[in-house]
Amino acid sequence: MPTLPAATAEVVVDASPNDAFRAFTEEIGLWWRCATPYWNDAERGLTVQIEPGIGGRFLEVYDLDTGEGFEIGRVTAWEPGRRFAMTWTQVGWRDGVTTDIDVSFEPLDDGTRVTLEHTGFERVGPGGDEFRAGYSMGWKEVLGWFAEHANA
């Protein structure tokens, strides 16, 4: 199957690249909204978290005491203030199928441009282009939540 286009989204926030990176990664549980379509198990999902550094997990947490939950992906690049990347999967995809997310933090005169690029939908198989279209719309909403948090 040919490579599908990326799902992309971007926002500009009133923060330095280092502060934007920290808010995105360390504080994701504060701005990622519960009871939205962007959960693998919205009924059980309590928060999300990114473990820092390459190999860290991106988790949808179902038990705050044990940390038990669903592993959405693994960090593949960790460059504070500049970029991070991770793999991504979701419930319902074939076992072992992942896509790739790359988030960059570009300094501007009055803040930081945060750009998210989600690729690899051709690996999902049939329906990959529909998933790409859905994520393209969804990431715009999710980054809007991030911008609200970062600008607060």
Length of the chain measured in residues: 152
**Facing residues of 99 across strands?**
88
The dihedral built from the CA positions of residue 81, 83, 86 and 92, taken in this order, carries a sign that is positive
pLDDT tens per residue across span 51-77: 999 999 999 999 999 999 999 999 999
Query: What domains are defined for the chain?
Result: 7-151 (3.30.530.20)
- Per-residue model confidence (pLDDT) at position 2: 75
pTM for this one?
Answer: 0.95
- Per-residue model confidence (pLDDT) at position 1: 59
**Facing residues of 123 across strands?**
none
C-alpha span between 27 and 61 (Å, rounded): 14
